[in-house]
Structure 1
């Protein structure tokens, strides 16, 4: 099968990757030259009856829960449709900031609905890519031919709607999933047209096996690294030196950020470093940003390139003090104990913040083979027979996930006792204080947007939905939705 791109985007009811719910999915498949293949996919997802949308998200997207219930499907069907779209062989699944956001939404969606959260991104010659970091690289390294908007601070803005406007790309409804998909395709086409060598280099190096060829740890090398963690003021760019592979994660590369002076790091004690180093952030040690050590996950399409890709003129344009970085590299080479020290830090036990909520436990551990087998059985078992499965011998998460899966998507499959358990869970989750705070937020936003009829209409709809939601909590039976 010929390789294709699948450009996709979610609009969601909030920004919490594990707990908030998708509202809309849009995708369009193209060939490698961005010519559309088939028709676009648009699917709405109804929120379950144990969830209320974040009001701010509704204001941004314009999608109310009532809209999704009028034209959408439950989350089980939503996940099934998306997984089928993702599973076409030889597909590069791509978006704009998808690695950090949309792909995580997909993973949690599949986790809740008994699909493998990860395999869609690599099985059957599939891959992932993120145009946001490619766009950042283009701005820093090869800006010619593209207009680069500035934010209020005078630094480059990488908001999709800003870039499309500056380059006269049609983008009629920002934060509408399909509109964002079309805009992303147009931006990819523009980058490939104006900077084909840069585009092809990072397309080739989107996969970890190709990235590994750039990394030569024993030789103490300098590499260019572009990531949003460094900020637009620095054009998201730094130089790094790879030190070692993480002792427990083969996809994590320990690197030294050469912007940071080596001398203070040599004097730091292990307690000070470890108190900042170990966080529960799955993507990067953001809380440890002031430390020179970083983890780069090569399975997340990082933008890494040889140091000489940055031309002197471009280094001056983005105000990167190259002698400073190379001076730190020299210090690093004459202090080899930093390598041992770095590995030792990461060998210490990582601190994870355990949650009792099974919805948030995807990254707790991989499912073993037996559990993956029973998950496959669950997915192919008739809904009315799911309650008969004996799950006690498998991963403890599966039984809890299955009960929530049935309650959220197939309430009619619950017996009387299960319906009561679900109602009590919902009441405990949405206790009076939480409901009161939620309504207060809606009212506060309503006052804030007194002169905006469109936003007031959205907030009125959300308030009506909330009132119906509350009334169902006060009954002794369940409904499919408010």
Structure 2
């Protein structure tokens, strides 16, 4: 069951980057906050550890980064214990919902990388409604922006200004600041009372403007229905049809399916190839096939091998949604590293050889770039 690691035994994905953003913006005292060469604030781990005298011997080494992150978390806890405790307590869904208070027209502070670093990655937002297709989503509005567009624009125009990349919007057209807070992803939220008048001035937040925009939102007729239509009409269907990408968006698995899933790792590869689980969830047969192909390729039939090769080819060439990196982009990145980085050339050659092996095994004839020695 892919969900249990997320919640079992009190587990959660509490991302320290947003905790650090909150500490820097709301309670910066007690921590030295580094700036980049361009004079901009930075939360790069290696810079934070240097500024605060934290041992971080091998930046970007996975284990070293883990220890450094733990030390940075301790730093926040010691410097701002009340903030740390509040954010830790309110990382779970039940506490997040207490803060959101849908229908109350009560604003909250939302700290997230969704907001510009020039705005301290922070906004005062108003929770508006539940997301129509994501049970773990609550749609909020950034109160620093006049909501007039929500009144005058059609559902289709609003969708364009939300779901089109900023660089692709027509000149002079601004995004509409509707965001989705994912209550199951430990969002960093706080009551507006954490921002004093001095804090507001330091952070360039206009509290009066925010209150005025709340009053405007209150009187927009049919606002909830309009927003529901906006987000109902935006389709992520390509990704949702791929089981690898839909274990969190496609709903929970039934208890009957979970019991069958729990048996998978106890079976030998040969038993797994012959097993018939008769799942009720349409995602699971494809997930099981990919599990076998990735872990026990020798058990695939000739027909299954062709099916797997076709999947890999489409994923690596970018023809299928969900590719983390295509072969073309992979080799372009290797070329950049070879030209601009004092990297171990043997490692780059090995990575290049791996790409060539993949291209041959999947019959991708043109991967775009050939690495030059």
User: 2:217 pairs with 305, 325, 332, which one?
Assistant: 332
TM-score, normalized by length of structure 1? 0.64
Would you say 1:351 and 2:235 are equivalent positions? yes
- Identify the structure with bigger relative contact order (alpha carbons < 8 Å, sequence gap 6+): 1
User: 1:374 pairs with 232, 253, 260, which one?
Assistant: 260
Kept in 2, the 8 Å contact 1:145–1:194? The answer is yes
1:282-337 per-position Cα deviation (integer Å, ceiling 9, x unaligned): xxxxxx9821322211111111111110122222222223232222223333x142
User: 2:49 pairs with 164, 168, 189, which one?
Assistant: 164
Kept in 2, the 8 Å contact 1:155–1:232? The answer is no
Kept in 1, the 8 Å contact 2:162–2:175? The answer is no
Aligned pairs for 1:282-361 within 5 A:
290-333=175-218, 335-337=219-221, 339-346=223-230, 348-355=232-239, 358-361=243-246
Measured on the aligned residues, the alpha-carbon RMSD in Å equals 3.3
Distance 2:290 2:150 in 1: 48
Deviation at 1:123, TM superposition (A): 2.9
Kept in 1, the 8 Å contact 2:155–2:226? The answer is no
2:154 aligns with 269
Give secondary structure in 1 for the equivalent of 2:57: coil
User: 2:125 pairs with 211, 224, 240, which one?
Assistant: 240
User: 1:458 pairs with 334, 347, 359, which one?
Assistant: 347
Q: For structure 1, which runs of at least 5 residues remain unmatched after alignment?
A: 1-115, 281-287, 475-482
1:47 aligns with none
Deviation at 1:444, TM superposition (A): 3.0
Distance 1:309 1:375 in 2: 45
User: 1:390 pairs with 245, 254, 276, which one?
Assistant: 276
Kept in 2, the 8 Å contact 1:156–1:233? The answer is no
Alignment: residue pair count = 348
Q: For structure 2, which runs of at least 5 residues remain unmatched after alignment?
A: 166-172, 318-324, 364-373
Distance 1:465 1:250, change over 3 A: closer
Distance 1:150 1:387, change over 3 A: same
Kept in 2, the 8 Å contact 1:157–1:232? The answer is no
Deviation at 1:363, TM superposition (A): 4.6
Deviation at 1:236, TM superposition (A): 1.0
Kept in 1, the 8 Å contact 2:327–2:355? The answer is no
Kept in 1, the 8 Å contact 2:151–2:220? The answer is no
Structure holding more strand per residue: 1
